[in-house]
Structure 1
Amino acid sequence: MRRFLLTLAVLLFATSAQAGTLDDARRLLKKKDFGGAAQVAKDLDPQQYPGKSSAINFIAGYSLARSGKNEEAKLWLEKAGADSLIGDSALYQLMLILDAQSDYGAMLKTTGGFLDRFPYSPVRQDVILLRAKAFAKTGMMIKAIGMLNDLLARNGDYDKAHWLLAQTQASAGKLDDAIQTYLTIYYEHPQSPFAERARAELNEINKSRKKRLPVETNDQRLKRFGVMVANKMQKEAVEYSAEIKPLQIKPAERAEFYLNLAKAEERLGKADKAIEFYDKSAAVRNGVTKPEALYRTAKIYWNRDDLKNTVETCNRISKEFPKNDYAAQSRYILARIEEGAGHKAEAVALYDKILSLFPSSKVTDDSLWHSGWTSYLSGDYAGAEKSFRRLADKNHNYGGMAPMALYWLVNSLKAQGKEADAFQKTLVTKNPISYYTMLTGDPDTMLKPNLPAAAENGLADSVRAKMETLAELYAKPPALDEKNRWLFESAKAWLAVGFEDTARSLLENLSAGQNGMLWLAWQFHKANCLSCSSRLLDQIRLEDVPSDQSPFVMFMMFPVANWETLVKESNAAGIDPFLALSIIRQESRYDAEAVSSANAYGLMQLILPTAELTAQKLGMRGITTENLKTPEINIKLGVNYLAGLIKGEKGAVPLALGVYNAGPRFMEKIKKRFSTDNMEIFVEQVPYQETKDYIKKVLRNYFIYRKTYSSFGAPTPGAN
């Protein structure tokens, strides 16, 4: 009996091993289960996957290499390297193994073949570097140095090339050249991972007295500090500033140094230290940074609600530098303070003064908007019309603040009984999917939707069938030159086996035109990389899309992702699945594995405490950051959380969206400050730009979803 059970277990194991698929291998690879991915890929029968044998070989070889089985990996990668489309990636992985094994003879052979076969590969630069290293390691120093200098002439920021060049120069006995390269790395590329190693090498050279090093100058330190600030190395810049002697710097440069140091401190959240250094910058005689230093100080005071010091500093700027643009920006702060205090006439007067004195300031657009908006709220529709008209004209009726200006210009004209159709037409035609274009149809419907009755499951299948028909008409392969053809075919090959990220990185370098973009987006869509297809179509101008192609484009820009799960969970929670889908588009762009910098996870970007609390109410246990990437779990929790917010806000969807984005405390504070009687106006008054934009974009998504799929039986927003 025991022998029988053992035999059965072996058979079951063999059966399960055979059951692995290419998708399984790819999924295991994505989870970094390299051992599992390698085993599944090795056991696959290439005959069952026509045209995908190279991808199987690549997965096996790459996974084996990551598992430390380099000799076996080399065999699989060599086979994958024969492919004309994905072979470049396979050969590059093979080169990394050869480098680790110090097999530079084989590397020279492999890199030479690569450079002949793959002129357009995105890893070509890295292969040239490896080839130069192989030349150096085999004693051909001059050839290596020449290759590296050529490489740096094309890309001066290539950190690895700088480092290898310095090492090769030192090995070739060209110590003067090596010292200069090390100095370049340390002073001009402090963001480089080799910067500190370069300094260590210089110290070693100095210690061994092989060569007398030039004395480090204050100017060199100052240059390095400036590069640090430019590369947002705030902490490092502040620490390194201690090595600089400000009094030895020329006044103009000293003022700039203090200004940059203050900016670094401010970005680190140290406002008091920032003010200290802004004051030092402003105090330098004949320093050109004084207006900016004072302005940045005023902004810190303003953000602290220290209005007394804000007003004093802004007035000082206007008095001492009346024609400088920072005077305009300071006046803008004063106008915003008056507006916030409810002094609308005074605010409008200040905005208009800015527009009169500084017609091309950085704050011109914002001043036009706030002048128009404040006038509109005061009932001065003629004044509002004047500002909104100027703002719309200035933005050339396309993009920027134009949609917002056009919409409120139309409202201002209508409030005066004037004709507004021409401006409304411009808004709709030039900005076809903006929030404001959606508002022109029916603001009440958009801002106060009556969530429709339970949705049906069959929508996704119907849409898929429709898209197949449209694709035959509009998704035509583009005409491409040799380079773009290779990038395109290579991306297509990677996409066919589910490597969306690799395909996307290739397509970033491809020029295909608008029609080509439609074809590429369709390939991504068919491969279920909805994030890829919708983002790709962000690049096209929708007003240039012919009306007969528009449905095809909109289906891909606003796809019905995870529809069956959304219908099931939304119906159970009593909300519209299209509303949840609108949030998914904004939060994750349909990427189930998305993780934000704020540690929000999955399709609906839930943070763990919120997910756990919602799960507890639903009787669910064992919620982790990993299973929040599972669409079924994420959608169930996200939909129920959203339903609770809508209920808490008494059905006011815009308010619920504000809570979803910024939290309940923020929205409670805003509701106390501004009336919610007119939701259209309330949304404009949300002071936190990110939350305001979020509410607008999700509402826009929702309206577009309902409008796009209304032909399939989905009612438009507001339909009962």
Structure 2
Amino acid sequence: MRTAFAAALVLFAIVALDVRAQEAEITVPPAPPVTLLPTAHPALPARPSDFWFVPSEFPPASTARSELPTQKFARGAKLVDSGDFAAGLALIDAADVSGTPLMTYSRYYRAKALAGLNRFSDALALLDNLEAERQAGGAGYLFAEGAPMHRAELEVARQDAKEAVHILEDLASKPSLTTPEEVWLRLGRAAEADGNRDKAIDAYRKVYYEYPLSLQALDAQSLLARLDNASLADRFTLELARAERIFTARRWAQARAGFEPLAGIATGDDKELVALRLAECDYYLDRFRASRDALQPYLKGASRKAEARFFSLTATRALGDNDTYVAEARALVEEFPHSTWAAETLNNLASHYVILDDDATADDVFKELWRRFPDSRYSERAAWKVGWWAYKNGRFADAAQAFDAGAAAFPRADTRPAWLYWSGRAHDQTGETAIANERYRLELADYENSYYGRLAGKLLASRGEPAVEGTVTIPPVLGADPVPTADVVRQLVGLEMYDAALKEFIRHEQAQHETAPDRFDHLRGAINTMKRAYPQYLAAGGEDLPPAVLEVIYPLDYWPFIDKYAKANDLDPYLMAALIAQESTFTADVRSGANAYGLMQLLPATGRSYAGKVGLGRFTTSMLTMPEANIRMGMRYFKEL
């Protein structure tokens, strides 16, 4: 186990070396040395259970005789949620959870059960108590949303829909709702029950048009079909905004279906926008010729002509007319030098040359991209490409400058471990040993538990250099705001009441103006989420994170296969593990949009060629999702590249 754990610590090397580089003559202008500092990480939680809001100990498996009160309550709550109110109420009444964080939830579920049994007065009394607690300072989802929504539901059942509307209108006006689309849908239903058709339509429209990707939008759509008699022209602005939201979410077919009915009635600027969006949807749906033809009227005089020309030239490239593509790309960059579409064009143009193995020209384009748009989302990639090309061609001063500039500009980039290490190597080549050693120390401070961190450590050790000096300490930073309902969340997780726990956590995150539920997805094994939550896993001391956290970040399920077949093919097993992490995040049955399967993302044609070579016999596509078979074929294929 110790060997496997040590192996896991170096799984995620950055596999980004462009070995096809050729010499280029353009150099990066000289610049003074860049000062690089260690990354300042938020303070880590003091208790292991705080890393992911689980209890320190889970309750033991229970029997009827040994069942804890909290377990009995959880059973009752699940029965209430399933509609078995009498059985659930009996268990909740028998579960003494007074004095625990679950006391509020016990009252809430008791109210739900009583309402389900038509004991409305008793249920209302409990909900009134919860409201009094909220006004006295009670925090969390249950107080802010759960109880008011149930109170409104109860008022509708009592034939007092008007009161339900008042409750839900007040709730809908509050910021940071966990599920605003659910609140608005309930408001619409309450208004409809109250006979207020216009208010119901407004609420249903809110759901359908502003939350088009939600499940509630499907309900709202059917309800609007029954109530809303407004013409498409009257709804044009709403329909256009809805289609734009779907387009932004990259649902191309669904977005096209939203824009298409608007084309015949749009006027002015909206007409141009709808036409462009339809053409862009066609491009993303691989209808390249139709897309390019539809864009022709908007290439010269349109207000969005840069955007139109970008998609037109990109469709031209997809149709195989490379010469026209390059000419049009260059013309767009020159005519719109400050447009974000110029940045998109340069990035795609550089990729075009990379695909053609014209790395020298690609290097020129990457430099231009970096110079013109130093803050674009492609600058990180450009910095790496420019630096590595310079290093491969012996221009070590230029390489060091590029790597240092990238590491300074993008302190959280995935390529930063590689930048720091190869900056050190480049400074070594120019005789700047002191700067090189500083880069290696910084690599250790921030990324000791990465592939490049281990290489940097070996270099420093071979030189007799100290691994860490006082100048590379991590400055203290304040930790995140505590979650006021953390104890409740832990209790709910321990009882496997995950939906309730998640709502409590989302409520806190949204109140902090963050995008939830990113940090809670680790309950489902979300590797990337855990990395974002605790980037210290790569830094010096990262091996001291709780084992449960490290096991999520470093999944070891397939390490025996990786180690076995990497060594059989004379490959570095850690490098292969990093490649698998990059390709599939260790998901054995994943299939990409390019029809590549499994851990090493192999195409069926590749599998068909290599199954016999590695002794797997007759190939079937299902082999690609079998972990061992995929790794055997993939590593042999990688060796022969």
Q: Which TM class, normalised by the smaller chain length?
A: 0.5 to 0.7
Please tell me whether residue 59 in structure 1 is matched to residue 75 in structure 2. yes
- Distance verdict in 2 for CA 1:111–1:598, change over 3 Å: farther
**1:211-266 superposed Cα distances (whole Å, 9 cap, x missing partner):** x9997243333233223323444333322323214564222x33332333344444
Letter in 1 for 2:448: P
Q: Distance in 2 between matches of 1:561 and 1:423?
A: 26
The match for 1:311 among 299, 323, 326 is 326
Please tell me whether residue 164 in structure 1 is matched to residue 156 in structure 2. no
For the 8 Å contact 2:444–2:457, the answer to whether it is kept is no
Q: Distance in 2 between matches of 1:501 and 1:203?
A: 31
- Distance verdict in 2 for CA 1:259–1:566, change over 3 Å: closer
Q: Distance in 1 between matches of 2:563 and 2:344?
A: 50
Higher mean alpha-carbon deviation, 579-588 vs 362-371, is at: 579-588
Please tell me whether residue 552 in structure 1 is matched to residue 572 in structure 2. no
Q: Distance in 2 between matches of 1:564 and 1:360?
A: 37
- Distance verdict in 2 for CA 1:349–1:437, change over 3 Å: same
Q: Distance in 2 between matches of 1:510 and 1:598?
A: 35
For the 8 Å contact 2:256–2:277, the answer to whether it is kept is no
Letter in 1 for 2:190: T
Q: Distance in 1 between matches of 2:381 and 2:188?
A: 50
What corresponds to 1:44 in structure 2?
A: 63
Which structure ranks higher in relative contact order (CA pairs < 8 Å, sequence separation ≥ 6)? 2
The match for 1:230 among 242, 245, 248 is 248
Q: Distance in 1 between matches of 2:189 and 2:425?
A: 68
The match for 1:385 among 369, 376, 400 is 400
TM superposition shift of 1:131: 0.8
Please tell me whether residue 403 in structure 1 is matched to residue 417 in structure 2. yes
What corresponds to 2:234 in structure 1?
A: 216
Letter in 2 for 1:407: Y
Q: Distance in 2 between matches of 1:293 and 1:422?
A: 48
The match for 2:409 among 384, 389, 394 is 394
- Distance verdict in 2 for CA 1:262–1:504, change over 3 Å: same
Letter in 1 for 2:333: S
**1:651-680 superposed Cα distances (whole Å, 9 cap, x missing partner):** xxxx37xxxxxxxxxxx6xx2xxxxxxxxx
- Distance verdict in 2 for CA 1:260–1:503, change over 3 Å: same
Letter in 1 for 2:146: D
**1:603-659 superposed Cα distances (whole Å, 9 cap, x missing partner):** 98999x99xx99xx999xxxx99xxxxxxxx9xx7457646755x36xxxxx37xxx
For the 8 Å contact 1:338–1:347, the answer to whether it is kept is yes
Please tell me whether residue 291 in structure 1 is matched to residue 306 in structure 2. yes
Q: Distance in 2 between matches of 1:177 and 1:498?
A: 39
The match for 1:71 among 78, 86, 91 is 86
- Distance verdict in 2 for CA 1:308–1:100, change over 3 Å: farther
TM superposition shift of 1:291: 1.3
- Distance verdict in 2 for CA 1:150–1:111, change over 3 Å: same
- Distance verdict in 2 for CA 1:352–1:643, change over 3 Å: closer
TM superposition shift of 1:344: 4.4
What corresponds to 1:436 in structure 2?
A: 452
For the 8 Å contact 2:421–2:456, the answer to whether it is kept is yes
- Aligned-partner SS, 1:73: helix
**1:418-477 superposed Cα distances (whole Å, 9 cap, x missing partner):** 42212222222233334432343469xxxxxxxxxxxxxxxxxxxxxxxxxxxxxxxxxx
Q: Distance in 1 between matches of 2:397 and 2:630?
A: 44
- Aligned-partner SS, 2:533: coil
For the 8 Å contact 1:145–1:169, the answer to whether it is kept is yes
- Distance verdict in 2 for CA 1:274–1:495, change over 3 Å: same
- Distance verdict in 2 for CA 1:109–1:348, change over 3 Å: same
Pairwise CA RMSD: 5.3
What corresponds to 1:240 in structure 2?
A: 258
- Distance verdict in 2 for CA 1:320–1:584, change over 3 Å: closer
- Aligned-partner SS, 1:120: coil
For the 8 Å contact 2:447–2:453, the answer to whether it is kept is yes
**1:542-580 superposed Cα distances (whole Å, 9 cap, x missing partner):** 3998x7x6543274543499999989999999979x979
What corresponds to 1:120 in structure 2?
A: 139
Structure 1: unaligned runs, 5 residues or longer:
1-39, 444-477, 512-520, 626-633, 650-654, 657-667, 672-720
Please tell me whether residue 423 in structure 1 is matched to residue 415 in structure 2. no
Q: Distance in 2 between matches of 1:566 and 1:369?
A: 30
- Aligned-partner SS, 2:337: coil
For the 8 Å contact 1:61–1:72, the answer to whether it is kept is no
For the 8 Å contact 1:179–1:202, the answer to whether it is kept is yes
What corresponds to 1:490 in structure 2?
A: 488
Q: Distance in 1 between matches of 2:213 and 2:443?
A: 45
The match for 1:334 among 337, 345, 349 is 349
Q: Distance in 2 between matches of 1:236 and 1:564?
A: 39
What corresponds to 1:152 in structure 2?
A: 172
Q: Which entry has the higher C-alpha Rg, 1 or 2?
A: 1
Q: Distance in 2 between matches of 1:590 and 1:354?
A: 33
TM superposition shift of 1:304: 6.1
- Distance verdict in 2 for CA 1:596–1:65, change over 3 Å: farther
For the 8 Å contact 1:531–1:590, the answer to whether it is kept is no
Q: Distance in 1 between matches of 2:490 and 2:400?
A: 51
Q: Distance in 2 between matches of 1:201 and 1:507?
A: 31
What corresponds to 1:137 in structure 2?
A: 157
Q: Distance in 2 between matches of 1:356 and 1:93?
A: 61
Instruction: Please give the residue correspondences for 1:594-605 in structure 2 after superposition, counting only pairs within 5 Å.
Output: none
Q: Distance in 2 between matches of 1:226 and 1:316?
A: 29
- Aligned-partner SS, 1:216: coil
What corresponds to 1:261 in structure 2?
A: 278
TM superposition shift of 1:310: 2.3
**1:82-131 superposed Cα distances (whole Å, 9 cap, x missing partner):** 55434555666666666666665454344334445683343441331121
Letter in 2 for 1:403: P
Q: Distance in 1 between matches of 2:86 and 2:491?
A: 26
For the 8 Å contact 1:62–1:93, the answer to whether it is kept is no
Instruction: Please give the residue correspondences for 1:495-506 in structure 2 after superposition, counting only pairs within 5 Å.
Output: 495-497=493-495
- Distance verdict in 2 for CA 1:148–1:276, change over 3 Å: farther
TM superposition shift of 1:356: 4.2
What corresponds to 1:447 in structure 2?
A: none
For the 8 Å contact 1:584–1:590, the answer to whether it is kept is yes
Letter in 1 for 2:417: P
The match for 2:200 among 156, 178, 196 is 178
Q: Distance in 1 between matches of 2:305 and 2:91?
A: 64
Letter in 2 for 1:552: D
**1:452-511 superposed Cα distances (whole Å, 9 cap, x missing partner):** xxxxxxxxxxxxxxxxxxxxxxxxxx9999x845x3322333454566786677566679
For the 8 Å contact 1:262–1:277, the answer to whether it is kept is yes
Which structure features the higher share of helix residues? 1
For the 8 Å contact 1:583–1:604, the answer to whether it is kept is no
What corresponds to 1:542 in structure 2?
A: 536
Identity %: 16
TM superposition shift of 1:148: 1.0
How many residue pairs were aligned?
A: 527
Letter in 2 for 1:410: G
Q: Distance in 2 between matches of 1:354 and 1:561?
A: 34
Q: Distance in 1 between matches of 2:347 and 2:531?
A: 37
For the 8 Å contact 2:86–2:117, the answer to whether it is kept is no
- Aligned-partner SS, 1:558: helix
- Distance verdict in 2 for CA 1:305–1:116, change over 3 Å: farther
TM-score (norm 2): 0.65
- Distance verdict in 2 for CA 1:510–1:192, change over 3 Å: closer
TM superposition shift of 1:71: 2.7
For the 8 Å contact 1:105–1:134, the answer to whether it is kept is no
- Aligned-partner SS, 1:154: coil
- Aligned-partner SS, 1:85: coil
